[in-house]
Amino acid sequence: MSCGRMEPALHFAIAFALAALMWRRLSSALLAGALTLLPDLDLLLGSHRSASHSLLLALLPLAISLAIRRPSAKHPLQVLSLALAVHVLLEFATGFAPVLWPLSTEEYSLSLDFGFKGGSLALAFDVLRRPYDCDAHGELNAPVLTLEGLAVALLLVVLALQVIRAGRAVARSPGGRELWSAKRAREGI
């Protein structure tokens, strides 16, 4: 399994698209897209895929948002948690990452195998693990941008923008404004 083949543009686009699906707001999608790049700031400390790639740390803002009573303070924390979790899960799917730190000193990777067997699609997966080696991830070993990555990222962003646009159309429709306002009030946005 290769280590770290997820381009930053794809991290951005996938978090952007998921936030657009969840909240149907451009500001939430842009915020999630930008925040999903935060875990890679560990490169500035000389060790990529460090503790910043822990799913437990990614869920911390969500836990804090559940304890907060003021709805307007919950939304940014929920966006942050989504963005960090997306990053960690993508890294887990493309190579080894310490997704259970600090509960485990190992790093994990998802191994997928699929193909056709006996005329039907077969899917097998396994979770691989090994001791965490901070020296193994000392640099970003993925291209910042490839043509394929750019194409997929642009497609995801365009589709997500259509979801946001459709949400706005519903909000402007008869009865939609009340429905949309009630949803936003519940979510604190």
- Which tens digits make up the pLDDT trace of 97-126? 899 999 999 999 999 888 888 888 888 889
Position 25 in a domain: yes
Give the pLDDT confidence of 76-93 residue by residue, as tens digits.
999 999 999 999 999 999
Is the pLDDT score of 75 beyond 70? yes
Does the residue 76 lie in any domain? Answer: yes
* Nearest-5° Cα angle at 12, 188 to 155: 105
H helical segments located in 36-175 = 55-67, 71-94, 147-172
Dihedral sign, CA of 53, 7, 127, 43?
A: negative
**Which pLDDT value is given to residue 179?**
66
Closest residue by Cα to residue 80 from 98, 63, 97: 63
Decide if 100 is inside a domain. yes
Cα–Cα dist 141/137, whole Å: 8
Query: Rounded distance, CA 50 to CA 53, Å?
Result: 6
Question: Which range marks the domain in which residue 114 is found?
Answer: 8-187
Q: Which residue has the higher pLDDT, 78 or 41?
A: 78
Helix, strand, or coil (residue 46):
coil
Residue 82: is it exposed, middle or buried by C-beta count within 10 angstroms (0-12/13-18/19+)? buried
Do 164 and 180 contact (CB within 8 A), yes or no? Answer: no
Which pLDDT does position 141 carry in this prediction? 62
**Residue 129 DSSP class:** E
Asked if the model's pLDDT at residue 71 lies above 90, the reply is: no
2 occurs within a structural domain: no
Specify if 3 maps to a domain.
no
Picking from 110, 67, 117, 65, the residue whose alpha carbon sits closest to that of residue 92 is 110
Q: How confident is the model at residue 172 (pLDDT cuts 50, 70, 90)?
A: confident
Instruction: Indicate the number of domains in the chain.
Output: 1
Closest CA to 95 of 118, 127, 64, 61: 127
* Reported confidence tier of residue 12, pLDDT bands at 50, 70, 90: very high
pTM of the model: 0.81
